[in-house]
Structure 1
Amino acid sequence: MAAPRLSLGPLKEPLGLMRALQWFFSIFAFATCGGFEGSVTYRVTCEGRENHTVTATFGYPFRLNHAVFQPSLTHLCNHTWPKDVHLVGDFSSAARFFVGVAVAAFLYSLGALGGYLGYLQVYRCAGSRLPLMDLVASGLVAALWLVASSAWAQALGHVRAAAGAPLPHCPSPTASCARTALTAMGGLGASVAFGFLNLVLWAGGSWFVYKETPLHRPAPPPGPTPAPM
């Protein structure tokens, strides 16, 4: 294996710069989605009794049907609720897929950038298959970003609707249930935006990888033929 020749020169070229941007913005994608924690709070007023506040906490991976309101509603309003009340919906598939793609993109862009910085002479040598492999991988990651971002954008709409829905099984006039607090989900909206930004970066970066492949670079012309004697 060839010895590495560390050089920061690739960072000044579109090939290396795009990898650095892909690495940087993939961090924001999985951090804004995977690091989210929120809650929804309701004030429950029972007829002729004091008010109570119940809260359900939720976050990544957004299995809302596991988020239980606390303290238990079964003890309120003369046992109006026969069992614990959960939020509705399981959106873990889309959320985990999105974060998984972000982590994979982070690792690949970091590895590819390290390869450019240390082994660019091997990457660009005649007959190297590395650019073609890099192109296939880049196109695959771009496609995954498209699918993951679209799926997560749709799931996020359902998360917002489920978290903002009225408290289930709140009978009137026996009890009244008013939502008093709901964590803002602007960070989750930003995760969708970062997802589509990463899609643009990977699709655009694929063009610069393509320019390194034999598909774009013409084969070197044959050497001069010797003159007949």
Structure 2
Amino acid sequence: MDVVNQLVAQGQFTIIKQPLGFIKILQWIFAIFAFSTCGSYSGMFKMSVECKNRSESDLGIEVEFEYPFRLHQVYFDAPTCKTGNPERLFLVGDYSSSAEFFVTIGVFSFLYAMASLAVYCFVLEKYRENMKGPQIDFVVTAVFTFMWLVSSCAWAKGLSDVKTATDPETVIRLISACEEPENRCRELYDPKVSGLNTSVAFGFCNLILWAGNMWFVFKETGWLALFGGTYVPSSGEKQPAPDAYGQEQSFGQQQDPYAGSQGGYQPEYGQQQQQGYTEQQGGDYSQGFEQQPTSFSNQM
């Protein structure tokens, strides 16, 4: 407890109060709920087959199934309502691929959320160094967002197929004795799939959390400043030199160093030449001014 209090006093866990860390905690929790509600499921349904000959009836046929929902390996024995041994029947379908994919994404999301939360709390400065950490975090977050979308949609479709395959009314059609009108077949107990429905809901909640977290991670990458036009160039990039007033000149506004050699007007040089001319007339500025022609007629 002393170590935890010391870390709190040093501000190690302040990131948890910010959206970046708080959403990561929610991702960690919702990932647990998603893969646990799906991976730990086991269900059962019950039927009865009442034959014309009551001695051959079976009024309590129980069928159990569980994750990963390889239903084609689940079997039960049903009476034939004829003399002889009961027939062994198998359920239809293999939905393990979508279920296992969903659970795998949940487990890896849980591990990554826990690891990134530890990085936020203990090595946040190193995480933000050179912006490499946030950029990698953004790419991984985008990948998990896409994976949650795919896995949740696939598992939602797989769950719908599991419900159909484990519906007692559907399974009754597999029993040959139920095709005879004198025999009576009915369902006694439907499987409870509320836990599986919850897993799908948690899957799409994780999709929303990871998609929303992309924005907060994106702000840490520095790309937002680059797109907004406030990018600061590195020391290796050439920058325009400032002019005499301290303002940067663009390439179109830079002065041509050879402009004076082409007969261009140079005020400073002309003033110096005029001042030297008047000084040769005895240092009197008025004399120098009077010696200059005042009009075009005087020049003629």
Shared fold (TM-score, shorter chain, > 0.5): yes
Match of 1:134 in 2: 137
CA displacement at 1:192 relative to structure 2: 0.6
Amino acid at match of 1:161: T
Match of 1:109 in 2: 113
Report the Cα distance in structure 2 between the residues aligned to 1:210 and 1:132, rounded to whole angstroms.
8
Indicate the structure with greater helix content: 2
Match of 1:188 in 2: 196
Contact between 2:34 and 2:199, CA under 8 Å: does it hold in 1?
Answer: yes
Superposed, 1:41-56 pairs within 5 Å as 41-50=46-55, 51-52=57-58, 53-56=60-63
Residue 30 (1) aligns with residue 35 (2) = yes
Report the Cα distance in structure 1 between the residues aligned to 2:21 and 2:83, rounded to whole angstroms.
64
Residue 198 (1) aligns with residue 206 (2) = yes
Distance 1:79 1:203, change over 3 A: farther
Report the Cα distance in structure 2 between the residues aligned to 1:213 and 1:10, rounded to whole angstroms.
16
Distance 1:79 1:30, change over 3 A: farther
Amino acid at match of 1:27: I
CA displacement at 1:120 relative to structure 2: 0.4
Amino acid at match of 2:61: V
CA displacement at 1:172 relative to structure 2: 1.4
Report the Cα distance in structure 2 between the residues aligned to 1:222 and 1:94, rounded to whole angstroms.
48
CA displacement at 1:79 relative to structure 2: 5.6
Report the Cα distance in structure 1 between the residues aligned to 2:182 and 2:116, rounded to whole angstroms.
63
Q: Give deviations 1:31-79, integer Å, cap 9, x for gaps.
A: 111111101111111112144111110111011111112xx22x55226
Residue 120 (1) aligns with residue 124 (2) = yes
Number of aligned residue pairs: give it: 220
Percent same amino acid among aligned pairs? 39
Report the Cα distance in structure 2 between the residues aligned to 1:144 and 1:152, rounded to whole angstroms.
12
Could you tell me which of 67, 70, 85 is aligned with 1:60?
Answer: 67
Could you tell me which of 127, 146, 149 is aligned with 2:149?
Answer: 146
CA displacement at 1:214 relative to structure 2: 2.0
Amino acid at match of 1:157: S
CA displacement at 1:162 relative to structure 2: 1.0
Report the Cα distance in structure 1 between the residues aligned to 2:156 and 2:204, rounded to whole angstroms.
10
Match of 2:88 in 1: 84
Q: Which has the higher contact order (CA 8 A, sep 6+)?
A: 1
Could you tell me which of 158, 161, 182 is aligned with 1:158?
Answer: 161
Report the Cα distance in structure 2 between the residues aligned to 1:213 and 1:131, rounded to whole angstroms.
5
Q: Which runs of 5+ in 2 are unaligned?
A: 1-6, 236-240, 245-300
Report the Cα distance in structure 2 between the residues aligned to 1:136 and 1:101, rounded to whole angstroms.
16
